[in-house]
Structure 1
Amino acid sequence: MSMPDRNNNVAIGIVNNMPDSALEATERQFLSLVEAAAGDITVRVKFYALPDVPRSDAGRLHAASYSSMRDLLNDAPDGLIVTGTEPRAADLMDEPYWNSLTRLVEWADQNTTSAIWSCLATHAAVLYMDGVRRQRLGEKRFGVFDCIPVAEHELTVGLPLRFRMPHSRWNDLPEQQLTSTGYRILTRSSAGVDAFVKQRKSLFVFFQGHPEYESETLLLEYRRDLKRFLTRESEIYPTMPQGYFDDETLTVLTALRDRAFSYRCESLMTDFPTVQATNTWRRGAVHFYHHWLEYLARHKDREPQAHVEAKQLTIR
């Protein structure tokens, strides 16, 4: 009887820090991307929760189905994905979860083969490790942007010369500060640095963009922000996502914006058009994640876990 290929099995932990309203969508997005990228690699995924992320009662109930940080220390997955969250403080070091997140950075470096840090988690990790502070942008960097690979690396082999990636952020990391502190830029766009890495004991991979996003994620975010403006929850009219809507939709949304400035009322949401959004970034996202899973399979130095608990899924 042939034995299973141990190097073709990887275990991944996902620390889901997203706000309550996005918890389940974020689970779905990352699971879908990992499944699409797995190929012939068997991937087992388990979700974890930081204890200090502010939650409503419903959010705490959902997060209670995740495993704890103590479980993560015992499980020691091959790879780790750490999501961002919606910031509450002007300074990341003032966030209630700062200490837990920085301890996670230290642990991941010593105990994973590679870790992916997404959006705010990227900004927090580089601030903690090297003092690189994100800079507030004049307006939200929002939309789908053309990216190009700018370095040869195991994660970029075979990437198209041009691919697309969603971004949704109010802050940016200065490229010069990243490179001067030892980070290697892998992909770049007109939105700035897209993906970059730093080889510590673990390979740390950082995304300012969101390869995991589904077709309608930016659409739903724009609708949410527009409603916040119309209900006066926010005084900022939302930035329309670049490179995302077709011309007909842009025309309708521009007219809606003009009406909103003269008649600011939630009832205008009934004029929001029906949109069939297209995912133009999936190919690049799957390609990048497939290479990451291959990296884990090649470089991990321990046997895969056999124990499967609640919220741990096997993807083939």
Structure 2
Amino acid sequence: MAATGRGTGGQQFDRLIRNAANSARVAVHVDVVDLDPTTSHPHLPGSRSDWQRIASFDALVVTGAQPQNSHPEKDPGYPVIERILDLSRRRNFFTVFSCLSAHLALHQMCGVQRRRLAHKRVGVLDHQTVARRGPLTVGLPDVVTMPHSRWNTVDRDELVACGVRLELLTGGSDWAVATSQDGVRQVFVQGHPEYLPDMLLREYRRDVRVFLTDPDAPYPPIPEGYLADTASRRLAAFARRARSQRSPTLATQLPTVGPLPDVARRWTAEATAMTANWIRRVADGSTGRINDPPTRPAAGRHQDDLVLANGCSSVQYGPRLDAGRERDR
């Protein structure tokens, strides 16, 4: 029996974890802990029952949401991440921090600040694999693709200076995946390996609608490496019209286009392989074999069950992924 996170994000991570577990031949039980700092739900962040459940997990996947403050320490999710970090140190379990939660965790661990990019980084990007035989990246090709959709980054030189290990580099001073020094115990992800094929377009359409109704909102860039040239040209033509005739009534005239055929096949396969590497290490680490090479059980057999929290609800607050204004990630 398993539960999934609320909303699209929870479903996407649930899908990725289950596919990767199947690939790794490891049985997993996925649970959800809802730690919404702004909710009136009776189980508020820090409740005894929530944290007792978290303490029993072998691993935790924590995602973020729309930042509520430009200063990380003032974000409502900050104390939640602080407590997760403290618990993970005491319990020594495996944690993936994605999106905003990665930035909040790195700020607490290293004192590094998020930096706003001049332009939103959005599209399906290529990444250099730093160490192909690392615990997380073993078996991956030299170049890995992954979707991105964010306004912020943490400079990689600052991460290296505080001992964080870089796994996938996006180019310039940017990165997609970084880890603790052991390469697996703590994982920080700026990209979105969990995304479904149409997710970037769904976000793009949402952001266009926000632009048409909010005079302070920027017009979203067209996702790169994701659309056919004809589709990009149609969206660019509409963008010129929207900028000159800004009106909510234009929303219904936004061209209907789709992503490139099979554009998600590669990133999905590589995301599944990377997540399977992580799950194997969680399985080995839970039995004290974290420093050994990842193991594969005999055909037809599964390793012992792992209990993972699909943490998409763990720090999910503010507007859902498919609603509200631009996420200032």
TM-score, reference length from structure 2: 0.78
CA distance in 1, matches of 2:15, 2:186: 22
Superposed displacement of residue 180, structure 1:
0.9
Output one character per residue of 1:173-192: Cα deviation in whole Å (capped at 9) or x when no partner: 11111011011111112372
Alignment of 1:112-127 (within 5 A): 112-127=92-107
1:297 aligns with 2:283: yes
Aligned to 2:19: 36
Alignment of 1:140-179 (within 5 A): 140-151=120-131, 152-179=133-160
Q: Is the 8 A contact 2:28 2:306 kept in 1?
A: no
Q: Is the 8 A contact 1:144 1:241 kept in 2?
A: yes
Superposed displacement of residue 84, structure 1:
1.2
Of 8, 23, 27, the residue aligned with 2:10 is 27
Q: Is the 8 A contact 2:122 2:149 kept in 1?
A: yes
Of 227, 231, 251, the residue aligned with 1:249 is 231
Q: Is the 8 A contact 2:209 2:251 kept in 1?
A: yes
CA distance in 1, matches of 2:211, 2:123: 19
Letter in 1 for 2:273: H
Mean Cα deviation higher: 258-267 or 271-280: 271-280
Q: Structure 1 residues 244, 182: closer, same or farther in 2, change over 3 A? A: same
Q: Is the 8 A contact 1:122 1:206 kept in 2?
A: yes
1:273 aligns with 2:255: yes
Aligned to 1:3: none
Q: Structure 1 residues 249, 177: closer, same or farther in 2, change over 3 A? A: same
Q: Structure 1 residues 31, 305: closer, same or farther in 2, change over 3 A? A: closer
Output one character per residue of 1:248-279: Cα deviation in whole Å (capped at 9) or x when no partner: 11010010011111211122222222223241
Q: Structure 1 residues 44, 215: closer, same or farther in 2, change over 3 A? A: same
**Aligned to 2:180, what secondary structure does the other structure show?**
strand
Mean Cα deviation higher: 296-305 or 259-268: 296-305
| Larger RCO (CA under 8 A, 6+ residues apart) | 2
**Aligned to 1:50, what secondary structure does the other structure show?**
coil
CA distance in 2, matches of 1:12, 1:109: 26
Q: Structure 1 residues 67, 287: closer, same or farther in 2, change over 3 A? A: farther
**Aligned to 2:146, what secondary structure does the other structure show?**
strand
Superposed displacement of residue 244, structure 1:
1.2
Of 4, 8, 33, the residue aligned with 1:48 is 33
Superposed displacement of residue 112, structure 1:
4.2
Q: Can you give the 5+ residue segments of structure 1 that lack an aligned partner in the other structure?
A: 1-10, 17-22, 307-316
CA distance in 1, matches of 2:273, 2:164: 22
CA distance in 2, matches of 1:242, 1:38: 30
Length, aligned pairs only: 283
Of 181, 199, 224, the residue aligned with 1:217 is 199
Superposed displacement of residue 221, structure 1:
0.8
Q: Is the 8 A contact 1:34 1:289 kept in 2?
A: yes
TM-score, reference length from structure 1: 0.81
Letter in 2 for 1:189: T
| RMSD over aligned Cα atoms | 2.9
CA distance in 2, matches of 1:305, 1:87: 31
CA distance in 2, matches of 1:305, 1:183: 26
Q: Is the 8 A contact 1:48 1:67 kept in 2?
A: no
Superposed displacement of residue 146, structure 1:
0.5
Q: Is the 8 A contact 1:49 1:69 kept in 2?
A: no
Superposed displacement of residue 227, structure 1:
0.4
Letter in 1 for 2:270: G
Among the aligned pairs, what percent are the same residue?
33
Superposed displacement of residue 304, structure 1:
5.3
Superposed displacement of residue 67, structure 1:
11
Alignment of 1:11-90 (within 5 A): 23-39=6-22, 40-52=25-37, 54-55=38-39, 70-74=49-53, 75-90=55-70
Superposed displacement of residue 97, structure 1:
2.6
Mean Cα deviation higher: 106-115 or 180-189: 106-115
Q: Structure 1 residues 258, 95: closer, same or farther in 2, change over 3 A? A: same
CA distance in 1, matches of 2:185, 2:139: 20
CA distance in 2, matches of 1:294, 1:233: 48
Q: Is the 8 A contact 2:27 2:306 kept in 1?
A: no
1:181 aligns with 2:162: yes
Superposed displacement of residue 69, structure 1:
6.4
Superposed displacement of residue 98, structure 1:
1.6
Aligned to 2:109: 129
Q: Is the 8 A contact 1:195 1:206 kept in 2?
A: yes
